[in-house]
Structure 1
């Protein structure tokens, strides 16, 4: 296994944390609530490792790269209009580069209707 992978017992421990949405051997998804709490504590001047400990995480188990990346991501998300909301379902796919004609829109809706 890779250096940054979680062992089975670590995955089980992380699953018990109420601030974990999803966890696998390779990744961890934190709840929106945890991101908000983390951001509030970060603004108060707390160190990221101490914030993780405060909410039941072991920073050594997570690793410095994961904690640093998470801190960077939280700062970026805090600056977004959507905040810490997961926008993947609304922003998936490639954006359209041209406007569709009425006929093209109708054809697209027919295909969509057929799929549904």
Structure 2
């Protein structure tokens, strides 16, 4: 993650870009569409900086380190699993894991009874 924090004004401007899904002072989440465009154009020979600039991003605001590391991460992900692997997986597995408390309690109680019977022999 980059050390550069976005100001409120930079967040406001970045939020208006159609290729930005979410932006906070610390991080920016790009749309899946932008990642696909990036990979396609990068394979055609465009540099990371050129692609970001062509899609309306201010290079000075993002910083070249953030641009380069995003491109590197997306290229690696693409090589490992193809274009579909670039999708933001958080939408599919977010939040806490659901646990059925009643089943958990019954299971623990059964284990305790089995252990008790083994000990008492």
Class of the TM-score when normalised by the shorter of the 2 chains: 0.7 to 0.9
**What residue in structure 1 maps to residue 69 of structure 2?**
69
> CA RMSD of the aligned region, Å?
2.5
**What residue in structure 1 maps to residue 17 of structure 2?**
17
Residue by residue over 1:19-70, the C-alpha shift from the partner in whole angstroms, topping out at 9 and shown as x without a partner, is 0010001110000000000111100111111100111101111001101110
| Secondary structure of the corresponding residue to residue 67 of structure 1 | helix
Partners of 1:76 and 1:109 lie apart in 2 by 43
**What residue in structure 1 maps to residue 110 of structure 2?**
none
Partners of 1:77 and 1:49 lie apart in 2 by 19
Residue by residue over 1:61-113, the C-alpha shift from the partner in whole angstroms, topping out at 9 and shown as x without a partner, is 100110111011110221233421122444999xxxxxxxxxxxxx88824xx
**What residue in structure 2 maps to residue 110 of structure 1?**
103
Question: By how many angstroms is 1:11 displaced?
Answer: 0.3
Give the TM-score taking structure 2 as reference length.
0.70
Give unmatched runs, 5+ long, in structure 2.
Answer: 105-121
Give unmatched runs, 5+ long, in structure 1.
Answer: 94-106, 112-116
- With a CA cutoff of 8 Å and minimum separation of 6, indicate the structure with the bigger relative contact order: 2
Give the TM-score taking structure 1 as reference length.
0.72
| Secondary structure of the corresponding residue to residue 51 of structure 2 | helix
Question: Larger helix proportion, structure 1 or 2?
Answer: 2
Select the residue among 83, 86, 89 that pairs with 2:88. 86
**What residue in structure 2 maps to residue 49 of structure 1?**
49
Aligned residue-pair number: 97
